[in-house]
Chain A
């Protein structure tokens, strides 16, 4: 351990790493506060401070009289992959259900005219869904699709259908995505829908999805409150050796 950080942060780091490394798995209990205090030779108060931080990050759950539980299975979302949210979560063994909060066709107006390079009067299909993972709300997703690109996009029930399957039905396929990942704070009514406190940190993933003809056919914002998710990114240097 390095010496410059306060002890509680060092302990939080150590515990966080054990969780990320899979040493402590989802559903495991952490040792009691008293045991950790003895093991590391630190005070109860320090242990409690470290646990409070991890609880705020959503990595652990502390239940009165029952102990401290790990609340973070390793679900790693690879930012280099193009896949619908549903299939991604399902591949990780999470059962996904949806609630459509709104769906309908509207004029592009300024916002979507600019994004899709279409005219302000062009119709855009908009769909807002609350995503549940294993029955608990985990994300709010806003989709926008120009109707000219996917003519029958507005005709499906997106509680059951995925946008990807509807694209396939229109002989369209998403082959590339530009994704922007941010950490943002959410407020009501979004916070309430996601069952998190107002001002909570969530990942906001904004995607611009293109088809084979390099045509932008979907603009999506996902507010992801699921603390189980780690985003994974990788870089490779393909340049020549710098001088």
Chain B
């Protein structure tokens, strides 16, 4: 017998997705009850429940206990090949972007930061921790580290609201970040992150570590973002011949020639 016993729930999933499309269900609108769906699709409830769990696990739908199952809004899709500045990229796609500053202070570079920025351990850096919102949905808690010597007086700017860090660096300090590399892994939201983003503690999240490079190839910014996986996904357009050389095997690309 086949080890694979899920084909029934796969095809039920297709039926549910077809139902959602053809009935023009909109985000946050309720789907028919489990009993109704089972009758409509002529399937047994165990398989139906399995298909629903799978779709909920992928954030296509969500269930509110005692109230039913609802269509999730589509995830915000980060176009990673052009995404450098969070604020500018999302704004260019017609979204409202806003940040709340959680912390902005001068710190000493820790091991990780000093390695990315290629400076000695303990060098003065600005640490800017922000809650990021797209269309008023909190999607990420991001901490940026910038060399204090490159942008003296940066802390006098207020990056809450709609001010872009990258635009400020470009306009006020002549530092254009034109290239970014990021590494993506998975993590779970801590209680604090969940509270800040109005989400559930333990919720699935991307753990994104990024380095931003200036025109001259010098590393300017090191950042760590914890991004809600239920509201955010990454899109990449890949071609046979990548235009940028692939990463070095080690996590510390040396950009200085």
Contacts and interface: CB of A to CB of B under 8 A. Distances in A.
Interface of A: 1-2, 4, 6, 9, 13-14, 17, 20-22, 56-57, 74, 76, 78-82, 99, 101-102, 109-111, 114, 128, 130, 174-190, 193, 199, 201-204, 230-237, 241-242
The 9 tightest CB contacts between A and B, nearest first, are A101-B4, A183-B229, A79-B236, A185-B57, A110-B18, A233-B80, A231-B184, A237-B178, A181-B234
Contacts, number: 202
A193 B3 contact: yes
A234 B180 contact: yes
Interface stretch (B35-43, B131-139, B152-160, B248-256): B248-256
A47 B22 CA distance: 53
Interface in B84-126: 84, 88, 102-103, 107, 110-112, 115
B251 A21 contact: yes
Contact of A184 (B17, B59, B80, B252): B59
Interface of B: 2-7, 14, 17-18, 21-22, 50, 53-54, 57-59, 75, 77, 80-84, 88, 102-103, 107, 110-112, 115, 127, 129, 143, 167, 170, 176-188, 190, 204-206, 209, 224, 229, 233-240, 242-244, 246-247, 249-252
A111 B50 CA distance: 19
11 contacts: A2-B103, A20-B183, A21-B251, A109-B18, A176-B238, A180-B77, A180-B235, A182-B59, A183-B229, A236-B180, A236-B243
Contact of B209 (A20, A130, A174): A20
Contacts of A2: 103, 107, 110, 127, 143
